[in-house]
Amino acid sequence: MISDKQRKAIKRQQLQHRFHIRRCCSGRKINSITTVASINKSILKYGHRFTRVFVEFAHRVTPSCRVIGENPIIARFDDDGDVKSNPRIECETCSFNILPRSPVLLMQRNLLLPALGSDKIGTIVLDLDETLVHSSLGPPPPRYDFTVSRVMDGVMIYFYVFKRPGVDEFLEIISKKYEIVMFTAGHKAYASKVLDVLDPNSYISHRFYRDSCKKVRGDFVKDLSEFGRDLRKVTIVDDNPKSYSLQPENGIPIKPFYGEELWDRELMKLAGFFEKCDVFPDMRDAVYQYLGGSTKGIRLF
């Protein structure tokens, strides 16, 4: 038989043992929390340093590239989808930078033009589709001027191109006094082939494609200020006024051409305008008057 005294002694030993186990476990838990907190602090501390080092390293080793192709300083993209698909870079004038707090690479396109030739008095920027030509897909139409082709998804696709009446004479006339820049919202894969046929005499000095446009509220906009030209000496001709919405006073809207207007004389009217407008110190005043506005001083249109 166990006496009451022995029973109390056994119970006291059990209580001491339990207390000892709880104290040990509590200490281990505290030590674990302290260790985790220390690790997190180290990660945070050295993580910031690593980020700064990475950004600086990427900034230094990411190269700038400058490619000179058939035409100088032309940003060009190509694609393997249809004419409206996302482009694949072929060659371009670009530089890359990294935002201080982002790992994303940003591409900045340089649209600066070389110095204007001494024999040129200004710059005329032209659109392509529905301004100088009209292209159609599908079966051959009854009348067209030439075709261009490209492979899409392993299939050869043909574009039947109609030249706007007077386009050849128009380019020849304005090239005598003006620098001509082609700025189209079309992709290079299509537009460059059209231009190679349309402009065999290289009246067009520079070509820019969709990748050089800015996306503004869903529209492809052509920012003339990025050319580095005096905007008093720059005019853009486009069938879509939204494309020059950043410099509306520099733009001449032209009636869209769809290949059926054989009597169209819009380009020859513009040729006559550009022949006369050099008497204006600011071509924007000439554009305003040509479009029906009232200006003081010189009156030609």
The answer to whether residue 115 sits within a structural domain is yes
The answer to whether residue 107 sits within a structural domain is yes
Mean pLDDT of 11-34: 54
The secondary structure element, H or E, covering residue 29 is helix 4-61
Number of structural domains the chain divides into: 1
pLDDT above 70: percentage of residues in the chain: 61
Nearest to 126 by CA among 173, 79, 83: 173
The answer to whether residue 10 sits within a structural domain is no
List the domain range (segments joined by +) for residue 265: 76-290
DSSP strands (E only) in 110-258: 122-126, 133-136, 146-152, 155-163, 178-183, 206-208, 214-216, 219-221, 234-238, 251-253
Q: Which of 78, 82, 127, 264 is catalytic?
A: 127
The answer to whether residue 254 sits within a structural domain is yes
Over 80: is that where the pLDDT of 101 sits?
no
Strand partners, 123: 179, 234
The answer to whether residue 263 sits within a structural domain is yes
The answer to whether residue 92 sits within a structural domain is yes
**pTM of the predicted model, to two decimals?**
0.64
Q: Which of 78, 79, 82, 129 is catalytic?
A: 129
User: Could you report the per-residue pLDDT of 205-226, keeping only the tens digit for each?
Assistant: 999 999 999 999 999 999 999 9
The answer to whether residue 103 sits within a structural domain is yes
127: annotated active-site residue: yes
The answer to whether residue 48 sits within a structural domain is no
CATH number at residue 261: 3.40.50.1000
User: Could you report the per-residue pLDDT of 103-157, keeping only the tens digit for each?
Assistant: 322 334 567 899 999 999 999 999 999 999 999 998 899 999 999 998 888 888 9
User: Could you report the per-residue pLDDT of 164-219, keeping only the tens digit for each?
Assistant: 999 999 999 999 999 999 999 999 999 999 999 999 999 999 999 999 999 999 99
